[in-house]
Chains A and B, each alone.
Chain A
Amino acid sequence: MAHPQAIEVLVRRVARQVGVRRAEHWGLRGAFWGALLAAAVLAFKAVLGLAALVLAPALVLLGALAGAAYGLARRVAPRDAARLADRAFGLADRVATALEWADHPDRTPLVDALVADTVARVLALEPRQIVRRVIPLEGRWLPAPLLAGLVLALAPAIHLPTGTILDFTPSAEQEQHEDRASTEMTAERSRPLPRDPLKRPSFEERDFAQRTGTGSGSTAGDLSAIFKDTALSNQRPDFNSFLKKGDERLRLLEQVDRLPDLQSDFTTTQYKMVFRKSKSLMSGLSPDISPQKLRELLDEMERLGRKGGNWSSDASEGMDALEGGQTDRALEAMQRALDKMRAMEEAGRSGKSLRGGRENERGARGRERARGGEGVGPEDQDFGEGEGLLPGKGRSTMPKGDPTARVRGNPYDVGVEGESRRGRKDGYDTNLTGRAGSMPSRLMYLGVVGQYRKMMEDAITREQVPRDYHDQIRNYFQALDER
């Protein structure tokens, strides 16, 4: 068997080259950081004196030497060196394989041939540098700190500022001035409220007599007069007028049961809080719901339920299910508890929520209808919000809706024909053919369009529609409205 000494020599040679390149690489990095330190030292030349001029180059040299020493000290694995040699000399992994298999216990007869072949090829090689130089980023930037250091060394010393610490204790004069300022600030705070935009102009007219010119207290050059000399500064609410006119708000005060409950903030109710938490629990990116968070939520719901709710049992059931590892059941129980919370909150509001006037009127009509009261004409038999006119929105459980009272029998046994009138109108008169031919119908066009328009605006607000389509959709509805 040929002795693989030549292979080992080649590997050692390559390893040495790698070591040198590493020393260069790390030396440059060390020199860079040393140069940075040196520049900092030279910046304090005035303090350090001549020592800075000696210390600065020493730091650069020390950094370079330390880096080079570190690079040389790092071990180069013979296998890596062999692979490098294989690639550099185009030996098709012969060196690495021969080196690995030369002393392998499962050596086959072919390995001897391999080693001999490799040795012959290695001996035929001409020694050359095969490890490329790798310049680190610090090496590319090395001239910058070196140049800065040189400039700092040649430039005159920078004298550092030697100021004393400012005296922040207030003097007697300043205290007096502050007193005056604070008085002005107090006066400023006691200024009357700005004009109420809801106040009728007549109020202001009646208040003219009470206005007095101000500014007598101001002197030339007193900028605070700008704030004092305003009409608002002396304006006061005209309570007399308020009482005489019998404001609508007074009448509103008499109807206590219809007053909106402004003291309660419905956005921060227990239900809202718990609902928000449950939503955040189930809307995470991960499909797995954290049992720990679910337990905390159920625990909180149970605590709230004990204070006067009827959902404690559901929350307890959910916690039991969670203990048993049944997350689905726990979620169902949480949903039931949430429903109960919402129902209780709805009941607690008892119609004191902030509803619009039309809604209130409709509600009143509805209540009257429920009592079986007279005087509710066909015009008043209007559907509620989102009911009746839209498919699937009515009270009927049938997906295609119930036939209207006027068209008895098969709802499809009618045909609609007609010609729309020119110009904008609330509805379209249609002539029916077939069995309902003698019964004209009126389609509440604007009502339908209005509802769809509202749905469209909701959809856009909830960002269910791509932004690029917003204008297009609005234009479409605008065109419908203009018919």
Chain B
Amino acid sequence: MSQDARVETFVTAFEALRAEVEKVIVGHREIITHVLTSMFAGGHVLLEGVPGLGKTLLIKTLAEGLELSFSRVQFTPDLMPADIIGTNIIVEDGDGRKHFQFQQGPIFAHILLSDEINRATPKTQSALLEGMQEGAVTVGGVSRPLPAPFFVLATQNPIEMEGTYPLPEAQLDRFLFKLRVRYPAIDELNAIIDRTTRSQQVTVSRVMSGPTVLSFRELIREVPIASHVRDFASTIVMATHPSWASSPEVTRRFVRYGASPRGAQALVLGGKVRALAEGRYNVSVEDIKALATPALRHRVILNFEGEAEGVDADTLVGQVVEAAEAITASGKEVFLR
């Protein structure tokens, strides 16, 4: 298959999957695109939004559109790591001998929906760490690989914070994107009412298999990126660090810790998916700019002043991107002078 055909196949599959999800989910096109981008980039997504905006429905619909196994875990304060990973239980064989057998937990699925992830204790939240990063879990000293592709979609509610355990930075950093689900517009709300109050139910077709997703992931990593685009992504990440010499004033004033190298990886990998989804063979500066907010908003830790001033991470990242643009443009773009 020629390269053009491979890219064309990806674009078609991407559009088809998005169309299937959009059969159920009204609006939120950008959220859906980012979720698909994250899935093809091999990352995980944290969806944040108030109840009733369709976060869980979006993920369930996506799972229905893929020929992949799906598990859902409702995170609660009494949930234990073994409830997610699984545990060894004693079983008796035909000869009457007893032995330990590993009983897989819900994490052993292609798509794992961690609903209201911030309601579980940090101990339970940490049970996901190894699986999200390594694609494997260790139980009783034995490492057990998770099925590929493995994709965690977590949701959290930003307003009911009582009795919750905010995700630690190490856990947040493992999510490729953090997406904020906004309230729908009035026409979208009307469409939601129409779709959900009728007798006929919408059926979602399975348009993509697991191996297809894996092959697309390989294709995505072949997308070339120019050095100045890569420099731009690095500059954005560095500009979130208050200790960096060229970081903007807003970072120095409000940020305690900047984004990790995973942030730069998220920008570039996401940029590659975005480019390919648009039928382009290379990553552009615009791709990086478009993904900066979802990729970095959860990786920038505000300091006390930032928290006290109520600084919005999205606004801060936007200003960081502008600063990075000015930094990378100096000496390169103004060569006429």
Which A residues are within 8 Å of any B CB, using their own CB? 18, 21-22, 25, 76-77, 79-80, 83, 92-94, 96-98, 100-101, 104, 107-114, 117, 131, 134
Q: Are B223 and A83 neighbours in the complex by a CB distance under 8 Å?
A: no
Taken together as a complex, chains A and B put the C-alpha atoms of A113 and B282 apart, in Å, by 10
Given the interface pairs A83-B228, A109-B222, the reply to whether A25 lies near B281 with Cβ below 8 Å is no
Interface residues of B in 212-233 (CB under 8 A from A): 219, 222-229
Q: Are A114 and B224 neighbours in the complex by a CB distance under 8 Å?
A: yes
Which residue of chain B is the closest to A106 with respect to CB atoms? B224
Q: Are B7 and A25 neighbours in the complex by a CB distance under 8 Å?
A: no
Q: Are B285 and A93 neighbours in the complex by a CB distance under 8 Å?
A: yes
Q: Are B333 and A83 neighbours in the complex by a CB distance under 8 Å?
A: yes
Query: Cβ of B30 < 8 Å from any Cβ of A?
Result: no
Interface residues of B in 14-49 (CB under 8 A from A): none
Known: A94-B284, A100-B224, A110-B224. 15 other contacts (CB 8 A): A22-B336, A80-B335, A93-B226, A93-B229, A93-B282, A93-B284, A94-B280, A97-B226, A108-B224, A109-B3, A109-B222, A110-B3, A110-B219, A111-B281, A117-B281
Contact of A97 among B3, B224, B332, B337 (CB under 8 A): B224
Q: Are B336 and A110 neighbours in the complex by a CB distance under 8 Å?
A: no
Chain B positions within 8 Å of A80 at CB level:
332-333, 335
Taken together as a complex, chains A and B put the C-alpha atoms of A107 and B280 apart, in Å, by 16
Chain B positions within 8 Å of A134 at CB level:
336-337
Which residue of chain A is the closest to B280 with respect to CB atoms? A92
Chain B positions within 8 Å of A109 at CB level:
3, 222
**Residue of B7, B225, B335 most packed against chain A (CB within 10 A):** B335
Q: Are B3 and A113 neighbours in the complex by a CB distance under 8 Å?
A: yes
Taken together as a complex, chains A and B put the C-alpha atoms of A112 and B224 apart, in Å, by 10
Query: Cβ of B117 < 8 Å from any Cβ of A?
Result: no
User: Once A and B bind, how many residue pairs between them come within 8 Å at the CB atom?
Assistant: 75
Taken together as a complex, chains A and B put the C-alpha atoms of A442 and B332 apart, in Å, by 84
Q: Are A100 and B332 neighbours in the complex by a CB distance under 8 Å?
A: no
Chain A positions within 8 Å of B333 at CB level:
80, 83
Taken together as a complex, chains A and B put the C-alpha atoms of A79 and B49 apart, in Å, by 43
Query: Cβ of B4 < 8 Å from any Cβ of A?
Result: yes
Contact of A112 among B3, B282, B284, B337 (CB under 8 A): B3
Chain B positions within 8 Å of A83 at CB level:
228, 332-333
Taken together as a complex, chains A and B put the C-alpha atoms of A104 and B282 apart, in Å, by 14
Smallest beta-carbon distance A415→chain B, Å:
48
Query: Cβ of B286 < 8 Å from any Cβ of A?
Result: yes
Given the interface pairs A97-B226, A110-B223, the reply to whether A131 lies near B336 with Cβ below 8 Å is yes
Q: Are B336 and A18 neighbours in the complex by a CB distance under 8 Å?
A: yes
Query: Cβ of B283 < 8 Å from any Cβ of A?
Result: yes
Smallest beta-carbon distance A19→chain B, Å:
10
Chain B positions within 8 Å of A77 at CB level:
335
Which residue of chain B is the closest to A79 with respect to CB atoms? B228
Chain B positions within 8 Å of A98 at CB level:
282
Q: Are B284 and A92 neighbours in the complex by a CB distance under 8 Å?
A: yes
Taken together as a complex, chains A and B put the C-alpha atoms of A107 and B225 apart, in Å, by 11
Chain B positions within 8 Å of A92 at CB level:
280, 282, 284, 286
